[in-house]
Amino acid sequence: MNEIYKHKLEILRQRIPIGLRHGLTLLEEVEGDLEKAEKHFVEEMVVLTISKTGVTSDAAIRYLTKSNFDIGLTIKRIDEERYTLTELIIRKYKDKKEEALDKVYLTIEEKYNLERDFWLNFGYLKNLPSEIYCFVAIMEWLNFEEREGYQNALSFNLDIVVQQIDKKLDLSELMHSLKKAENILVLVYEEYDAKKSYKNYSRATHDLRNNKGFQEVENGFKEQKQILINRLYEFVQNNVDKFP
């Protein structure tokens, strides 16, 4: 490295946060003129910021200065002012819908301070905005189904959940499938008088697991589960102004 440029590069890096290679390239382009090198650097950062965010030149300079020309931090600050938390999550996890929904759910739990005794008490949700209520009810049910299984999920606030799936997400076929599964479960357990003893309950459970109709609707749910997740993600996108 040219010793003169080496010394000037040290000075330039004290004035602006520029990398060694980038700084040397700029100095070579302007024949060692520190003022021009600094000016070119600022212009490059402004153009880059505008291309990535669409802000005006003045806004780009303001944000860059506030962030000491750290392009990553600059873009982060611009996004935080322009987008809600939910919008930022959707933008960041646009190819990972389930992860995006989980992040949105955590944001809602924190904002609304939702009370839970491991699982949410749905009675605490009635004062939530309707879009948030729908999202929370379905997400909690999906989490329950994932952890406790399909059969147990049919007894976890299903009436509320299927109503939201039908009315808000327009998935009537899935709603009817879940209600059919619930009806089969109730009939089988009533037939064996499952509440009377553990033995009766065990027999009922065994019969239910081998019930062709129940197997059919359960397999149907497995096929439709991703559709439900996709529709819930679209629901958030379409109502993003109602979310945190």
pLDDT tens across 144-193, in order? 999 999 999 999 999 999 999 999 999 999 999 999 999 999 999 888 88
Q: Tokens for 70? A: 């750290």
Last residue of a domain, one of 82, 114, 143: 82
Would you state the pLDDT for residue 224? 94
Q: Clarify whether residues 34 and 103 are in a common domain.
A: no
Taking phi first (over 0 means left), then psi (-120 to 50 degrees means alpha), and beta for anything else, what does residue 144 get?
Answer: alpha
Q: Give the per-residue pLDDT at 2.
A: 62
Same domain, 122 and 200: yes
Does one domain contain both 115 and 227? yes
* SS3 assignment, position 15: helix
- Percentage of residues in the chain having pLDDT higher than 70: 99
**Same-domain status, 150 and 51:** no
Q: Long-range contacts for 4-9 (Cβ within 8 Å, ≥24 apart)?
A: 4/32, 5/32, 8/32, 8/34, 8/37
**Number of continuous H segments (helices) and E segments (strands) in the chain:** 13, 2
Show which of 54, 82, 110 is a domain's final residue: 82
> What are 56-103's pLDDT values in tens digits?
888 888 878 888 888 888 888 877 777 788 988 998 888 899 999 999
> Any idea which of 77-81, 118-122, 198-202 has the lowest mean pLDDT?
77-81
The residue among 62, 82, 102 that closes a domain is 82
Poorest-pLDDT segment among 36-50, 68-82, 159-173, 223-237: 68-82
Quote the pLDDT of residue 105: 96
**Model confidence at 142, in pLDDT bands (50, 70, 90)?**
very high
Residue labelled with tokens 């019969």: 207
Burial of 139 (C-beta count, 10 Å sphere; 0-12/13-18/19+): buried
- Residue 16's pLDDT band (boundaries 50, 70, 90)? confident
Please check whether residue 137 is in contact with residue 161, taking contact to mean a CB–CB distance below 8 angstroms: yes
Regarding whether 97 and 74 lie in a shared domain, the answer is: no
User: How confident is the model at residue 141, as a pLDDT?
Assistant: 97
- Are 23 and 70 part of one and the same domain? yes
Indicate if 111 and 146 belong to the same structural domain. yes
State the total domains in the chain: 2
Tokens in use for 241? 């102004």
Indicate whether 15 and 74 sit together in one domain.
yes
Residues 154 and 212 in one domain: yes
Structural domain that includes position 209: 85-242
> Does one domain contain both 91 and 64?
no
pLDDT for 60: 86
Q: Are residues 223 and 184 in the same domain?
A: yes
What's the token pair of residue 192? Answer: 């064996």
Position 1 pLDDT exceeds 60: no
Least confident of 17-31, 69-83, 115-129, 214-228: 69-83
Whether residue 135 sits in one domain with residue 193: yes
Q: How far apart are CA 57 and CA 62, in angstroms?
A: 9
pTM of the complete model: 0.71
